[in-house]
């Protein structure tokens, strides 16, 4: 079900759980997306043994969080190499019987991309297309505006003209598990001084029990992934 929150053009997916980060940002962000599919399609088994009504508290999903962290090779400090994010989601889903795919875009730049880079406009369009198709995405971002990607967040809404921010995205920071706490920020490329600037877009392509995504997000921009690390926020 889609609900409009910000403006007439806003699209926000309902049923995406917010989690704290006991095992780091990668596992919690990934589980938010898998929890959405479990909610949307009624205890499909992505979170084995957990009823749909119980998926919204981090304390109820500690086992899946731990298993995802293991699949992503997350270290004891909650750090996950970027290159392990997609394979980690895919491998975890496979252990519970589902064939997900994940494609990470090249680095997002303000304009004039080269090589594997993509423009911020293209990245925003990829996010908007996925969410319009009822598919939340993952963004690799710079949480402290120092110009270095250090965090992974689940994104489940967009607005082409949100208040004074312009093109914006709706996401959970990982600091609160209340679904009423949705963060909105302008969709900008990573840069010094830009809080939650976007470095990469991870498109999650679900299995056949979900409506097929449009061809616009199947043709993806694949780049060489650098082993940046994601840190766990306090």
Q: At what angle do helices 85-95 and 62-71 cross, to 10 degrees?
A: 120
Mean pLDDT of 194-204: 97
Number of domains in the chain: 1
pLDDT recorded at residue 215: 34
Contacts of 110 (CB under 8 A, 6+ apart): 119, 120, 188, 189, 191
Residue 92's pLDDT is what? 96
For 44-80, write each residue's pLDDT tens digit: 789 988 888 899 999 999 999 999 999 999 999 999 9
What per-residue confidence (pLDDT) applies to 165? 78
pLDDT in the model for residue 7? 54
Write down the mean pLDDT value for the chain. 85
| DSSP track, 90-110 | HHHHHHTT---EEEE---EES
Over residues 204-227, the mean pLDDT reads 48
- Between helix 62-71 and helix 25-41 the angle, nearest 10°, is 120
Q: Model confidence at 207, in pLDDT bands (50, 70, 90)?
A: confident
- The more confident residue out of 45 and 43 is 45
Residue of 67, 64, 36 whose CA lies nearest to 50? 64
pLDDT digits (tens, 9 = 90+) for 66-120: 999 999 999 999 999 999 999 999 999 999 999 999 999 999 999 999 999 999 9
pLDDT category at 187 given cuts 50, 70, 90 is very high
- pTM, 2 dp: 0.85
d(CA 127, CA 132) in angstroms, rounded, equals 9
List beta partners, residue 138: 154, 202
CATH number at residue 57: 3.90.70
Domain coverage including residue 48: 2-230
Euclidean distance between CA atoms 13 and 2, whole angstroms: 5
Identify the CA nearest to 132 among candidates 40, 216, 72, 209: 216
Model pLDDT for residues 128-144, shown as the tens digit of each residue:
999 999 999 999 999 99
Give the tokens for residue 18: 């917010």
């Amino acid at each position: 079900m889609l609900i409009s929150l910000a403006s007439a053009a806003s699209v926000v997916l309902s049923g995406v759980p917010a989690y704290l980060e006991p095992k780091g940002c990668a596992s919690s962000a990934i589980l938010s997306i898998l929890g959405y599919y479990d909610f949307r399609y009624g205890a499909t088994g992505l979170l084995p043994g957990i009823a749909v009504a119980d998926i919204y508290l981090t304390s109820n999903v500690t086992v899946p969080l731990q298993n995802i962290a293991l699949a992503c090779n997350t270290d004891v400090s909650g750090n996950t190499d970027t290159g392990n994010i997609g394979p980690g989601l895919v491998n975890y889903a496979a252990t519970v019987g589902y064939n997900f795919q994940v494609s990470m875009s090249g680095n997002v730049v303000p304009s004039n991309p080269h090589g594997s880079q993509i423009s911020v406009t293209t990245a925003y369009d990829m996010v908007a297309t996925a969410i319009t198709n009822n598919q939340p995405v993952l963004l690799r971002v710079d949480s402290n505006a120092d110009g270095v990607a250090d965090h992974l967040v689940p994104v489940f809404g967009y607005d082409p003209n949100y208040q004074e921010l312009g093109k914006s995205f709706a996401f959970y920071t990982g600091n609160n598990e209340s679904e009423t706490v949705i963060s909105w920020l302008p969709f900008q490329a990573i840069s010094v001084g830009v809080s939650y600037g976007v470095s990469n877009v991870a498109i999650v392509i679900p299995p056949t029990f979900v409506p097929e995504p449009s061809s616009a997000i199947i043709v993806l921009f694949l780049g060489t992934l650098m082993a940046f690390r994601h840190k766990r926020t306090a």
